[in-house]
Structure 1
Amino acid sequence: MTTSSKINDQINTELSTLYDRDVHDWLETTIAQLKQGKLQELDAEHLIEELEGLAGRDRREIEQRLKVLIEHLLKRCYVNLPECDRAWEITIINQRSELIGLLEQSPSLKHHFLHVFDRAFQTALRIVQLEYPDTNFPATWQFSQEITVVLNEQFWLS
């Protein structure tokens, strides 16, 4: 083993230990190394783990926000409580705005939006059925699942 590879192994071990002690400090150190082009010194194992975590977080956020959006669309379309309409519409606007922002920042997540739509609908449906047991909700989504429609249409006006 050469001297430089021994040094790199020692640096990588120190970074791995830093990751275990203080993730934020590890992130700052990793960012500095990337900016300085010190790619050989990177703690690649933890860097990959963190990047995978970020990708997963965005997918989970899409699904969670979509579920909340569908819950409130179902409430607004099928529950006859006019005094709640405004609050439901505000939640709809907020969730749509956040979803639009996520999809603009990461257009490749549009595929994930479509992929999880049915699951998000089924979860939202179970929630609203428990919340409003006397309301008859449809067993399937009654509108277009096209992203632009879901994120813009006022279905309750139909």
Structure 2
Amino acid sequence: MNKISVKTLYEQDFALWIVDTVSKLKAEEFNQVDWDNLIEEIESLGKKDKRELKNRLTTLFEHALKLQYVPLPDFYRGWEVTIKRTQSQLRDILKDSPSLQNYLLEIYTDCYQEALENVQIEYDAPFPDICHFSSDIDSLLTKKNLQ
């Protein structure tokens, strides 16, 4: 395929573009690879993981705050399940990309602040302005009680 038809393939059928690109890489047909789009896709993978990490950490803090400060026992089990599931998802991301542990620590405070703002909209409870959850990654991602 020439360069114009490859870009058309990328725009028209992303899944087929992936198959085609992998096939060319395996066959070492490097001059046939759509490098611009391949580079863009690889860069977006790293950004996606970072966004996912941020979203999951914010969710973890939201549910931990609700569990500790919102007196609605009928909801506790659901919040506990969400905490457990979110911890597992965060562990999976960090298992695949251990270098993101540093990023998790970088976004820790921002995620807490976002979670705090979200739960303050939802509930009128005495949530702490300063994060009191452990910043130790192992504790944060394994303990039922995050303190």
| Structure-2-length-normalised TM-score | 0.93
> Alignment partner for residue 146 of structure 1, among 109, 127, 136?
136
Q: How many residues are treated as equivalent by the alignment? A: 147
Mark the runs of 5 or more structure 2 residues left unpaired by the alignment. none
Q: CA deviation at 1:58?
A: 0.7
> Alignment partner for residue 27 of structure 1, among 11, 18, 22?
18
Spell out the pairing of 1:8-157 with structure 2 (5 A cutoff).
11-133=2-124, 135-155=125-145
| Cα offsets for 1:41-78 (capped at 9, x unmatched) | 11100000111111111110000011101100111111
The one-letter code matched in structure 1 to 2:61 is I
Distance in 1 of aligned mates of 2:78 and 2:133? 22
The one-letter code matched in structure 2 to 1:27 is I
Moved more, 90-99 or 77-86: 77-86
Instruction: Report which of the two structures shows the higher radius of gyration computed on alpha carbons.
Output: 1
Distance in 2 of aligned mates of 1:103 and 1:89? 21
- What SS does the aligned partner of 2:142 have? coil
- What SS does the aligned partner of 1:137 have? coil
RMSD: 1.4
Distance in 2 of aligned mates of 1:119 and 1:12? 43
Q: CA deviation at 1:150?
A: 1.1
1:4 is aligned to none
| Structure-1-length-normalised TM-score | 0.87
- What SS does the aligned partner of 2:2 have? helix
The one-letter code matched in structure 2 to 1:140 is I
* % identical aligned pairs: 37
Distance in 1 of aligned mates of 2:26 and 2:37? 18
* Moved segments of 4+, more than 3 Å: none
The one-letter code matched in structure 2 to 1:143 is F
